[in-house]
Each structure stands twice: as C-alpha cells, then as structure tokens.
Amino acid sequence: MTERFTGSFTQQEPIPEEGIEAALAVLRHGRLHRYNTAPGETAETALLEQEFAELVGAKYCLAVASGGYALGCALRAVGVKPGDRVLTNAFTLAPVPGAIAALGAEPVFVGVTESLTIDLADLAEKVCDPRAKVLMLSHMRGHLCDMDRLMKICTAAGVTVIEDCAHTMGAAWDGVPSGRHGRVGCYSTQTYKHANSGEGGLLVTDDEEVAARAIILSGSYMLYERHLAAPGPEVFERVKYHTPNVSGRMDNLRAAILRPQLRALEGQVARWNARYALVEDGLRGVPGLTVIERDPRGRFVGSSIQFLLLDWAPSRVRTVLERCAARGVELKWFGGGEPVGFTSRYDSWRYVEAPPMPLTDRVLRGIVDMRLPLTFSEDDCALIARIIRAEVGAVYQS
C-alpha cells in the first residue's frame, strides 16, 4: 500500500497556556498600547525587549509591528538615504528588497552558493562599490555563512552589516547568537517563525544612537523613558528632533504572548532539529538529490529544510512536486518562472534592475523547500522523508 501523509504544513502549535493567561490579563485591563501603563506598571512590551536583549546578549532592543518593519527601521536608523545602494542576498524573500526599495534605496543582489549562503567571493567584489555602504544580510531559511569571513570583508570595506534573522532566532555562529555580528539584528515573530505573535518583530543593537533613532522612528513620541532596553536620555536629546516618526510599535498583547515563548525557545530549537535530522537522514543518498551540508561552526534551527535538484529540467522538478503533493507532502520550488506564494526570487522583483546571475540562477532553479512545523511528530518526519525519497527516485530513473 502506498504511504500518504495527512498532516498540515501550515498548522503551528497552540500558544502556551502561560502566554494565553498573560494575554487575557492584558485584555482584561485594556492597556494594549505599549505606552498606556498604570502608575508603577511596566509594560509587557518593555519587559519583552529587556528579556530578548538579555537572551541574545545585546545592549538595546526594540519590539516592532513586523520583521519587515524592523528591517526598514534598521536601514533608516543606520542612515540609508534615497539613492543609496544596499547589498543583499539574491536568495531571500520579498520583504528584504522591499524594505530597501521602500526607502528609495537600490537593492544590489549578491550571489548564492550551493550551500544556500551568500557568495562571499561575489560580496568581496560588490563591497568595492563606493555607493554601497550597507549589507542587509539575509540568513535565508536558517543557512549561516562564515560570519567571521563576511565581517572581515565588510569591515575592511567600511560596509555596515544589518542581519535579517527572520529564520535564525535561536541560531548562532561559533557561539555568537545570530544577529550579534552586525551593527543591527532584525527578527520576526510572524506565525511561521520561531516565536509566534501572528505578526511582530524585534531589533537589537549595541549602538546607542542607532537604538535611540530606531525607538523614535517606531513612534515613541517623547515617551522613550518607558523603555528598559534603551540608551539614556542624553542620547535621545541628540537625535529626537532629527528623526522622523514612522510608527510601527508592537503592542502589549503580542508582547505578552511572546514572553513565555522566548523562555521556551531553547527546548523548541532541540525539537525542530530532531525533526530536521530525521528528514535529512532520510534524504541522504537519493540519486539526483543534493542534501545541504551545514558548517559545524553554525548552530541552526531546523524549522524548514531545503534540498537541491541541480540541473534538473523544470518539467521534471514539477513532476516531483506533483507526485509528492498527491501523497500529501507540500514542497515549494524557487525555480519557477513566476512567483508562487512566497517563492519569489531576485528576478521576480521588477522594481529592481538586476543583471542576470547565471551561477546563482543555477542554484535557485534547483532549490526545493519544505516547512517542518512542530505539530509534526518524529514519525511524521520519517514518513515524509520516505515519500520524497521514493518520488525523487522514481522521477530520476524515469
């Protein structure tokens, strides 16, 4: 009998009971706005910022409305202006170039390797552009490049690094938490990320002026003294009249939901990685399928898995996807000619004039992507691997 998977690739675990109780407390008192506090009360959002800063070892943290907002806020806070060029990965998702373009800046794409990380040789060439002063580095799908080498390249060129850590909350490079190599780290708490508030984002930095500008940008008005993970008032005095309000605050309801999830993050990472290992082991040795090997210096979070069908004809990749879907396994492909769902690529974003990147195109055409929600059991993951293995093998041999 042919095996079939019957689970959902978009169903997340429920919010922890502690988060539900905290959210109900906020709803009962009605003070959802982060600056609406009773005498002697510290807002849930301020506590979240303090706790996340401690979690990743940052001096300052700001909670905002979305991961995409965090990216745009970081760009403004480090001084990106209209007409500037901002380097970023060719393999990323639409909010990254979108944040750059929203400022009137120009995204400049850097290639991707078969390890699904930024091509550091291509980066070393493109940082030489005098108009490119910022790299928005996307740790796309949790794949961490050699951060030591990347920072040497960017530091030598005077290029500021902003890390997009939407897929790497809880990850680290050589013991340093993701988001802590660059000047700013940006995280997402959208439903499919590693902590779930529906929408939401976090920004961390050790730079006091960047932190102060980000807080003013987010819509603090002159209430910045209600932040805990923030610089002193003298820093705000230097920036408050020169920084626009581009409101994007997080509210106390979402912060209340997130705080217990962050306390549980370490255990969640172990659960994701156990599931990832089962699928990865099940896919090893399949003819025509390339497993993405991870650098042992990087600690990743296996909330999704990718593999490559390198140099396969598009029609054959589509056949694999169709056959897996018929058996309940939902795979996404970054090689299609048109965007489908979230699987857009650098040449899909036609507001950017991007020259062709043949080596990168070869990799992108081969990327197959799959979510691994924690609602999957370990038996589910083993079954999914068997289905993919069988269907890729059948198409490869046909």
Burial of 98 from C-beta contacts in 10 A (0-12 / 13-18 / 19+): middle
* Residue 226 shares a structural domain with residue 284: no
* Residue 195 shares a structural domain with residue 334: no
Tokens of 347: 């040449």
How many domains would you assign to the chain? 2
Contact criterion met (CB below 8 Å) for 120 and 146: yes
DSSP 203-226: EEES-HHHHHHHHHHTT-TT-GGG
Does 4 fall in a domain? no
Q: Which residues of the chain have pLDDT under 50?
A: none
| Per-residue pLDDT, 360 | 96
Q: For the packed helices 252-263 and 44-56, what is the interaxial angle rounded to 10 degrees? A: 30
* Residue 258 shares a structural domain with residue 307: no
Q: How far apart are CA 381 and CA 4, in angstroms?
A: 12
Tens of pLDDT, residue by residue over 77-91, are 999 999 999 999 999
* Residue 166 shares a structural domain with residue 24: yes
| Per-residue pLDDT, 342 | 83
**In one letter, which amino acid is 135?**
L
**Domain membership of residue 237 as a residue range:** 17-263
The pTM for the full model equals 0.97
User: For residue 118, what is the domain's CATH number?
Assistant: 3.40.640.10
* Residue 228 shares a structural domain with residue 273: no
CA dihedral sign of residues 370, 373, 376, 377 = positive
Contact criterion met (CB below 8 Å) for 278 and 291: no
* Residue 95 shares a structural domain with residue 184: yes
Beta bridge partners of 220: none
| Per-residue pLDDT, 1 | 59
Helices (H), the chain: 17-29, 44-56, 67-77, 95-102, 120-126, 147-157, 208-217, 233-239, 252-263, 265-283, 314-326, 358-366, 378-397
Out of 242, 263, 284, a domain closes at 263
Out of 199, 230, 263, a domain closes at 263
Q: How far apart are CA 130 and CA 119, in angstroms?
A: 20
